[in-house]
């Protein structure tokens, strides 16, 4: 699942390349992901539009168009973007292809068909938009504490819900909990002020350093998801980089959680 650092790299790569280019043609291969909130016809409206930039909000990539409309992509679990020459092979399950004036294509593929490609005049019309928390780098420690307060459940679940801070998913929530030395299943109500401050610092540090690593590792190959550098997520059974004991892996509610029982003690595990 692309999360804030992955999407930030895609934004960085695409912004200078797409801005100013016109969409010459639109091919909707599989219409299931398309949400035309203008109700004027997705392809019909997009053809002839020029990109005004590329932005990101939480886990949503935004492609503002010079007309004032926005193309917004929520990749969900398996969405991928590809910026390629027409002759380059499409990723499996390519749903939408935009042919651009510069000769390249912007493609959206999605193995699980769970993502959405919106065309909208208003960002508020995107489902979930209003509920999104602030960007993690815009949050103060006081703001983070304040936003956590209404939630009483497990800290990992709170972080991934996106209402405290936007853009954190399953992988980076594991990394943040590990870096903060907080067990992912600890209840928010059991966390001390010091642990919450550690989570806040870890959130900023983990996301910031992941962006720097991905900038090097992904380069312009934005269709690649690089996760092998993470400390605990996806590393179940491997030695903990901090203490050397084996990283735990728990599968619950359809997702994997990785953590170190030694570095992150005290979680009451409820499956
Ligand atoms: Zn450890």
pTM (predicted TM-score): 0.95
Q: How far is the CA of 244 from the centre of ligand 1 (A)?
A: 6
Quote the pLDDT of residue 267: 66
Phi then psi dihedrals of residue 82, to 5 deg: -135, 130
> CA-CA distance, 141 to 48, in Å (whole number)?
45
The two tokens of residue 64 are 């503002």
- Let me know: does 166 contact 132? Beta carbons within 8 Å: yes
What is the end-to-end Cα distance of the chain in Å, rounded?
A: 22
pLDDT at 252 over 90: no
pLDDT tens, residue by residue, 26-36:
999 999 999 99
The pLDDT, as a whole number, for residue 269 is 53
Q: Which entry of 2, 5, 136, 184 is annotated as an active-site residue?
A: 2
Centre a 10 Å sphere on the Cβ of residue 164 and count the other Cβ atoms it contains: 26
User: How confident is residue 266, by pLDDT bands cut at 50, 70 and 90?
Assistant: confident
CA of residue 39 to ligand 1 center, whole Å = 53
- For residue 265, how far is its CA from the centre of ligand 1 (angstroms)? 10
Distance 243 CA to ligand 1 centre (A): 4
Query: What DSSP designation does 153 have?
Result: S
Does the pLDDT at position 270 exceed 80? no
pLDDT over 50 (residue 96): yes
Q: Quick one: pLDDT band at residue 271, thresholds 50, 70, 90?
A: very low
Neighbours of 72 (CB within 10 A): 23
Tens of pLDDT, residue by residue over 160-174, are 999 999 999 999 999
Which residues crowd ion ligand 1, with CB under 5 Å? 240, 242-243, 260, 262-263
Which member of 5, 8, 35, 59 is catalytic? 59
């Amino acid at each position: 699942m692309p999360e804030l650092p992955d999407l930030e790299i895609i934004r960085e790569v695409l912004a200078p390349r797409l801005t100013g280019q016109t969409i010459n043609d639109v091919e909707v291969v599989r219409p299931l992901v398309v949400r035309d909130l203008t109700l004027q016809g997705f392809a019909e409206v997009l053809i002839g539009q020029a990109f005004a930039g590329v932005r990101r909000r939480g886990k949503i990539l935004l492609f503002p168009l010079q007309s004032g409309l926005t193309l917004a992509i929520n990749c969900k679990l398996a969405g991928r973007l590809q910026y390629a020459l027409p002759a380059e092979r499409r990723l499996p399950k390519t749903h939408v292809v935009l042919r651009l004036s510069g000769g390249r294509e912007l493609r959206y593929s999605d193995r699980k068909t769970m993502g959405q490609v919106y065309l909208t005049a208003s960002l508020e019309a995107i489902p979930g938009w209003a509920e999104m928390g602030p960007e993690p780098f815009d949050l103060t420690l006081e703001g983070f504490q304040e936003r956590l307060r209404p939630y009483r459940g497990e800290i990992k679940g709170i972080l991934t819900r996106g209402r405290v801070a936007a853009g954190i998913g399953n992988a980076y929530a594991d990394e943040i909990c590990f870096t903060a030395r907080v067990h992912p299943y600890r209840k928010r109500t059991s966390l001390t002020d010091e642990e919450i401050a550690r989570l806040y610092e870890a959130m900023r540090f983990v996301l910031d350093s992941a962006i720097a690593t991905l900038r090097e590792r992904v380069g312009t190959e934005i269709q690649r998801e690089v996760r092998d550098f993470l400390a605990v997520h996806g590393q179940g059974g491997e030695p903990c980089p901090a203490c050397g004991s084996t990283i735990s892996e728990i599968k619950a509610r359809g997702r994997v959680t990785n953590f170190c029982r030694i570095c992150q003690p005290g979680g009451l595990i409820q499956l």
